[in-house]
């Protein structure tokens, strides 16, 4: 039996299991009684511990979304889950049995993967499933295929301009793929495609944008030789693209399939967004969500950094597949906006909320 709607001991109503629903506090007796009337029916054996975790995660997500709206008052995130799609209809509560999540329907979603914690969790999960599906298909294809994880970085310092770093890295990466000698090398090794993830952290040495790239080969390769070859190529590409030149040791890292599998299984997990503590990287670096969280806790500098990040990453793709790879691995092309609302396709209607309750949830 599904139990999407439950009530906690402190009369906070929760849509259980969903990544995108509010914790609802009934502020008035009228709301409480009307809500109880509809909610208790489907609440069999409440898992209070699980619900408390969900409520905390959801409350964190909404607090962070509010902070993003404050920092970016002109961006689409300001409309997200705050307006109805069809103003003549109420807000529906739906339940997705496949995902075991409840969510609101007939609400606008911004589909902003970089700045909206709620849409980002949904989109990133969809992209992670695409990665897993692609990897699984590659293994099922029955060849001797292998996937490697390539990481490309270059030196950066406090005060470097993030947009310029990103632009330089984009040029350098394009050079790496199109250089005659690297093209010939990849062809000889049987490379069939790649998937590029663009990531960034901020630490004592300023912004640290970098690429994680999954390389698909027809057969296992000598990763040490390829790493050494790419380290030299990457140096040239960085230099020609106006970037600080990395050392041969530090610019390129290449790991085998075990690491690629691990990377895919962890990539884009919603928990990254909702962690209750600051994730300390190797150099005490903060992710953009860490910056947003710090801003929400009152750190003005972190708020400004998040604004810089949002501006520099606007319009960029989180993951980019090389031409033809999605078709080869039988992964459909889906936009961020489609992923942000995808859960609605397989959902059943549970209830329609009274508008008074909905307004209480969005205040």
- C-alpha distances (whole Å) from 251 to each of 33, 208, 229, 254 are 62, 12, 12, 10
Closer to Zn ion at the Cβ: 118 or 147?
118
In sequence order, the 6+-apart residues with CB closer than 8 A to the CB of 330 are 133, 137
Least Å from the CB of residue 201 to Zn ion: 22
Residue 10: closest CA among 26, 22, 30: 26
Least Å from the CB of residue 114 to Zn ion: 11
Least Å from the CB of residue 118 to Zn ion: 5
Closer to Zn ion at the Cβ: 69 or 152?
69
Q: What are phi and psi of 153, to 5 degrees?
A: -135, 170
Q: Rounded to an integer, what distance in angstroms lies between the CA atom of residue 102 and that of residue 87?
A: 21
Least Å from the CB of residue 310 to Zn ion: 13
In sequence order, the 6+-apart residues with CB closer than 8 A to the CB of 246 are 153, 154, 155, 234, 235, 238, 252
Q: What are phi and psi of 201, to 5 degrees?
A: -130, 170
Q: Rounded to an integer, what distance in angstroms lies between the CA atom of residue 192 and that of residue 78?
A: 41
Closer to Zn ion at the Cβ: 5 or 110?
110
Q: Which helix (H) or strand (E) holds 25?
A: strand 23-25
Least Å from the CB of residue 13 to Zn ion: 22
Closer to Zn ion at the Cβ: 35 or 339?
339
3 state DSSP class of 299? coil
Least Å from the CB of residue 68 to Zn ion: 9
Closer to Zn ion at the Cβ: 82 or 301?
82
Which residues of the chain form contacts with Zn ion (CB under 5 A)?
A: 80, 110, 116, 119
- Is residue 222 within 8 Å of residue 229, measured between CB atoms? no
Q: Rounded to an integer, what distance in angstroms lies between the CA atom of residue 160 and that of residue 62?
A: 32
Least Å from the CB of residue 161 to Zn ion: 27
Closer to Zn ion at the Cβ: 39 or 110?
110
Closer to Zn ion at the Cβ: 62 or 267?
62
């Amino acid at each position: 039996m599904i139990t999407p709607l439950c009530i906690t001991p402190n009369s906070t109503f929760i849509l259980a299991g969903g990544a995108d629903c509010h914790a609802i506090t009934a502020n008035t007796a009228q709301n409480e009684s009307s809500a109880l009337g509809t909610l208790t029916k489907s609440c069999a054996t409440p898992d209070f511990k699980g619900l408390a975790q969900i409520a905390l995660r959801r409350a964190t997500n909404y607090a962070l979304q509010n902070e993003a709206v404050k920092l970016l008052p002109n961006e689409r995130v300001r409309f997200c889950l705050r307006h109805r799609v069809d103003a003549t209809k109420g807000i529906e509560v739906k339940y997705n049995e496949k995902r075991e999540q409840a969510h609101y329907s007939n609400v606008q979603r911004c589909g902003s993967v970089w700045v909206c914690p709620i849409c980002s969790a949904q989109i990133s999960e969809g992209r992670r499933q695409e990665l897993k599906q692609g990897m699984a298909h590659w293994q099922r294809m029955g060849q001797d295929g292998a996937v490697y994880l390539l990481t490309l970085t270059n030196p950066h310092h406090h005060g470097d301009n993030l947009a310029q770093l990103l632009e330089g890295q984009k040029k350098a990466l394009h050079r790496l793929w199109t250089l005659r000698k690297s093209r010939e090398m990849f062809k000889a090794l049987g490379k069939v495609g790649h998937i590029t993830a663009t990531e960034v952290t901020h630490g004592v040495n300023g912004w640290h944008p970098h690429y994680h790239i999954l390389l698909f080969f027809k057969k296992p390769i000598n990763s040490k030789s390829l790493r050494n070859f790419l380290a030299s190529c990457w140096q040239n590409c960085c230099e020609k693209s106006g970037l600080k030149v990395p050392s041969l040791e530090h610019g390129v890292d290449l790991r085998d399939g075990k690491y690629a599998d691990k990377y895919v299984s962890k990539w884009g997990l919603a928990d990254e967004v909702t962690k209750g503590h600051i994730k300390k990287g190797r150099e005490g670096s903060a992710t953009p969500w860490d910056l947003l969280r710090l801003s929400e806790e009152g750190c003005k500098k972190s708020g400004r950094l998040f604004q810089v990040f949002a501006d520099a990453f606007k319009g960029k793709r989180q993951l980019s597949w090389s031409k033809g790879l999605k078709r080869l691995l039988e992964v459909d092309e889906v936009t961020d906006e489609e992923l942000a609302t995808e859960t609605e396709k397989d959902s059943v209607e549970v209830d329609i909320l009274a508008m008074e309750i909905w307004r209480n949830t969005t205040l």
